[in-house]
Structure 1
Amino acid sequence: MGICGYFTVSWKCLVVLSFRLLFLVPAGLPVHSQGESQTDSKVMDNITVRQGENVFLRCAQGDIVTHTAWLNRSSILYAGEDKWSVDPRVSLVTLNQEEFTIKIEDVDMTDEGPYICAVQTSSRPRTTSVHILVQVPPTIINLSKDIVVNEGSNVTLMCQASGKPEPSLTWKLLSPSDAPSVSEGRDVGVTLGQRGVLECEVDAVPKADFEWYRDDRRIINGLDGMEIEDAGQLSKLTFLNISEADYGNYTCIAINKLGSSNASFVLYEVIEPTSSTLVQEGSTNVLLLSSSVLEKTSSETFALPAGPGAVQDGNSGSMGTHVHTYTCLLLVILLPFLLKF
């Protein structure tokens, strides 16, 4: 039946046959005893490469090399400088006394397996073998479509994935109730030239990302005197120096993969009272109160009952008493304002 049989050829048999075809050993070489090895063999470490990447197969040559070749599990790739493989992804990189290297581009699962570097020296053949392991990133190849079921019914969900090594699958429930929920916006009043802060607080799982808008224009952090600081569930929009143009409507939007939510804010102007404003308001109140007292005093004066001697004595005494009372009240009202100056 021959060395390797009629129908099955292992990679070891291929190596032997390749040596016989490529490396025609000249006659007259000494015959080795049956127990003596006629071939030096060396096994290299495995090479692990991801699908789609390139791999380099290197083989040390040594002195007095007459023939050299790279073989895979089923065919000869290179014999010296001659390419035997019809695969355009395979190419020769280096061939000299120190190194014999070939490259395989865009590695696929079909490239996985053993590779052998065969070297013929003046004394005996030598082989170096290496095994390529190809890793394939996990990919979901079949997934259940959306299903509508009645409450209390059973449901089966399917997920199939491929990859090498074999991927592990996990399921996670993403509840719609975990979509972002932004607290109601709180309007803020700030005086011109002061520092102002709008705060946006959200409740969200998973964590939400924040965006701030002035009308329909998105606010960029650090531009136009505005800074955005996100810390967990809270985002702050800070105005370093409020100007007239800063007053208006603002919107905070919280976004995660389950949805989004927003809240609106109004930044309005606050006018601080000055000393002249206080004096003016105080004077107005005093005048109003004085007028009220004067009217009351006048009404009481003219409402005194008439009687004998009222014209000579009663009117003059009563009028003097009320004028004195009015003067005292006026001093009491004005005294707090006079003490401020």
Structure 2
Amino acid sequence: IMLMFTPPVGIEESHSLGEERSPQSVIGLYFCFLRCYVDDNVSKVAWLNRSNIIFAREDKWSLDPRVDLVTKGQLEYSLRIQKVDVYDEGPYTCSVQSQQQPKTSQVHLIVQVPPRIYNISSDITVNEGSNVTLRCLASGRPEPMVNWRHLTPLGQGFTEELDGDEYLEISGVTREQAGRYECKASSDGLAPDVKYVNVVVNYPPQIMESMNAEIEVGRTGVLQCDALAVPKPDFEWYRDDKRLYSTQGIHIQNYGTHSVLTVANVTEDHYGNYTCVATNKLGINNASLFLFSKSCVISKNNSANRMSFCLNRVHKAKYF
């Protein structure tokens, strides 16, 4: 008597078994053959799962429609299990009664199930400083290992491996921790399952760059104000506490994270202090920008940031 285990589709090599073999693995949702070969002197033969008879000769005792008998020629007495699942796991015995003595051969079938992530957090938006918990629950046999990675935003080209298993805890989340998070469930020898969670971190405007503009009369003057914020900021421009709008000679354009104020034909009346204000639902920030000429002097020697313009033109002297 010889019992053979035929692995699932995709694995070509079969394993010959003696009287008793070490456990054999099969991936769920495939089929497997448990092959048994007998000689001409056999009077009785049966397949058993634990102590339950599956087949006695060609009589099927099992009610499971996925199980059938394969008998190619008089010497083969093999068991086929289709759509293998975890409930098929366990010992299988080919039992033979010959004229000499009973013989059995046994194999223990282990069913592996590829990892599957069945519960993962939805995309989330939080305010900077909040505590965040990301969830990633996975099933499989053997039990899969769950790992997290932070896929750095803005295409910076590197990732960060994170400590955590099914639950990733982030205390006091920062804007740098925003972006895409990858959850990967893996088991040795099986295809992993991967899913993603996007984390958006809201924070108030932070004006990054604002440059003064030195422009002569008659030229075009441009003041630009750049601010980082989530959600994107709204911009406003002021001069002498008076809000500015796009009017004749002045044009204001906003481009997401930066705003540009353009003076088409600069006159001496345009010289002075301009204030850029960036706001979103979390806060407000502002910066002062100066439009001046070479004949003007900027003085910041006191706390009031006083500025005097065009000292060689007394009638244009101004203080802020």
Query: Structure 1 length as normaliser, TM-score?
Result: 0.39
Q: Which has the higher strand share?
A: 2
- Give the structure with higher Rg (CA): 1
Q: Which has the higher helix share?
A: 1
